[in-house]
Structure 1
């Protein structure tokens, strides 16, 4: 019926793991593809470039200069890596999240479930980042100023030949240190805001959008310093700076950022990171809930 309402919490408990994983995969691809140009700008702003042509003063400045000198297509370079990786990674992410939350009692109504939600989100991140990290490395190598790579597979082969398998996972510990609190904050803010805006637990795209956007913005801002270190590690092999090329982990990366740019260095790319995660997170949750409901009812 047109006026039929779905209980939001009911979707999670009846949809099943397969539905949650497929919905998560479709939501992940939608999210990352839609906001990819802003993510490209974020990557460029975080890289310690030696050429003035690759130094940007803001999102608008970066967009204008990249479009004028390289063409708008440059902002989409590497999107195929995200599409290839985001589907499986988000399938695992949402599947693990729903599985853990259900089994830890996070879907019980009438009580605050922030601990169960946070643990479920952290567990989901550990699993999904193991799949996504190599694709993220390839994506950022392709996003860089004057990148030599135009193909995901060429980039993967070249990085492997030059730097070995470790190049794809040197940033994984940093990614986890960043992503676990990011996901815990994101899911906690999302669930608490959703409960505030939608106390009756009815299916409400507006509450999903607002809650998801706020959760993404807060989580992105809090974890930006770690994201700067992650970007340095993931792009180190394409740098012509010997010190950066020899960075071995998060501590080395943090020291380099501090020496080069001080405290403000850890806020590099903050604005485009928040601008990326706020709408993309809102879109992700709307898409996730939509696909989950659509697949369940098909």
Structure 2
């Protein structure tokens, strides 16, 4: 009888492309499904002088946005995510698996350093590609956004603020994403190893491990995510102090000055609510597509 092949094993001639394709499909699935909650998170993190743009919670935000702007407003900017998420996640998972293999992360036993290094390396590459799409997305998500088209938004931001507007938040994005992905990937691998020591294809394992890993990483990195939102939406603010924010430390200072310690927790609930299921879906989709493509 032929020896059974471990579904996680990398085929010598197709491993990288399989992981990139699986990652792209997983990324699009992840972001599209949870996009409305992400829109609420963005709005809750933006400092606004307008009472109409201040929300007390996820339920309050959903009700008010749906009743005053229509439910479609929660999906505004989703096309930017779809355009960027596929290529970015392809790069992310391709880098992830390649570095993990090179660092010895596929060997038996705990491999904390290898999995952390793989997670960090993957996000450096992916975020460089995704950051401009994320800026466009958040500009379209804010209250009373003037933009309805990705191309129009990109053109206006470039014309008014220059190329730097698309990358002013990149250092902050990395400051979030490197620990986020290192934490998420490490927790995911360890939970998966405990739940599924035989390394079999197990959807329930991937859902639970992905959700736990995503929720934990999201909660830890929320303060930096608030700073990133400030940087990416600064051009829409009427507050001179926010419009002139130059970097992560400047944004953190402004948050403290305007809202104190609680300001760093803005959007925590919708961020966790977005990332926990989306991370579970992402890992489930990734493992499914990886297994399905390799069996074709």
* Residue 232 of structure 2 corresponds to residue 234 of structure 1: yes
Counterparts of residues 65-80 of structure 1 (less than 5 Å): 65-80=64-79
Q: Could you tell me which of 127, 130, 140 is aligned with 1:129?
A: 127
Per the alignment, residue 258 of structure 1 pairs with 256
* Superposed displacement of residue 7, structure 1: 3.1
The answer on whether the counterparts of 1:236 and 1:244 sit within 8 Å (CA) in structure 2 is yes
Distance 1:239 1:123, change over 3 A: same
Per the alignment, residue 184 of structure 2 pairs with 186
Q: Which runs of 5+ in 1 are unaligned?
A: none
Counterparts of residues 82-231 of structure 1 (less than 5 Å): 82-109=81-108, 111-231=109-229
Alignment partners' CA distance in 1, 2:18 and 2:197: 25
* Superposed displacement of residue 9, structure 1: 3.3
Alignment partners' CA distance in 2, 1:199 and 1:209: 16
Cα deviations by residue, 1:253-278 (Å, 9 ceiling, x for unpaired): 00000000000000000000000000
TM-score after normalising by structure 2: 0.97
Alignment partners' CA distance in 1, 2:28 and 2:147: 22
Q: Which moved more, 1:285-294 or 1:13-22?
A: 13-22
Distance 1:205 1:15, change over 3 A: farther
Per the alignment, residue 64 of structure 1 pairs with 63
Alignment partners' CA distance in 2, 1:201 and 1:178: 30
TM-score after normalising by structure 1: 0.96
- Structure 1 stretches of 4+ moved >2 Å: 4-15
Alignment partners' CA distance in 2, 1:268 and 1:106: 35
* Superposed displacement of residue 24, structure 1: 0.3
Alignment partners' CA distance in 1, 2:79 and 2:166: 17
Q: RMSD between aligned alpha carbons?
A: 1.4
Alignment partners' CA distance in 2, 1:123 and 1:235: 27
Count of residue pairs brought into register by the alignment? 294
Alignment partners' CA distance in 2, 1:185 and 1:211: 12
Secondary structure at the counterpart of residue 150 of structure 1: coil
The answer on whether the counterparts of 1:170 and 1:233 sit within 8 Å (CA) in structure 2 is yes
Secondary structure at the counterpart of residue 201 of structure 2: coil
The answer on whether the counterparts of 2:105 and 2:115 sit within 8 Å (CA) in structure 1 is yes
Alignment partners' CA distance in 2, 1:210 and 1:6: 24
Q: Which runs of 5+ in 2 are unaligned?
A: none
Counterparts of residues 12-31 of structure 1 (less than 5 Å): 16-31=15-30
* Residue 276 of structure 2 corresponds to residue 278 of structure 1: yes
Alignment partners' CA distance in 1, 2:181 and 2:11: 18
